[in-house]
Amino acid sequence: MKTYQVVLAPDFLSDLFELYRYVALRDGKERARDLVKKLEKAARQLKNFPDRGHALPELAPMGIQDIQEITNGPYRIIYKVLDNAVHILACIDGRRDVEQVLIQRAVRV
């Protein structure tokens, strides 16, 4: 079985940090820590089966099929496989306007 390197992008780490802050204020630090650990573990498990995800429906109309996602509860872990690495790009709450978040990140300077 092929194993891929997992690369956590700065945006993904920032997403986890912001999620931690939000949940810690609302539900406590322990719950926030558990959620972040669970999401990071799910992302790291892509090292074994990165093809288990599916293409983002928001990007399909543009013909972009190589950016994929897996879900964990309402959270969408977005990634791209390049050569022998899985690049974890983002973790976005699926209850948000994911398309708008992706557009904002794409045009960010």
Tens digits of per-residue pLDDT, 26-85?
999 999 999 999 999 999 999 999 999 999 998 888 888 999 999 999 999 999 999 999
Residues in a beta bridge with 20? none
Find residue 55's DSSP bridge partners: 68
pLDDT of residue 109: 56
Report angle CA 47, 102, 20 to the nearest 5 degrees.
Answer: 65
What ranges do the domains of the chain cover? 5-107
- In sign, the C-alpha dihedral spanning 55, 56, 57, 62 is negative
User: What CATH number does domain 5-107 carry, 3.40.50.150, 3.30.2310.20, 3.30.230.10, 2.40.420.20?
Assistant: 3.30.2310.20
Entry pTM: 0.92
Q: What are the tens digits of pLDDT across the range 2-42?
A: 999 999 999 999 999 999 999 999 999 999 999 999 999 99
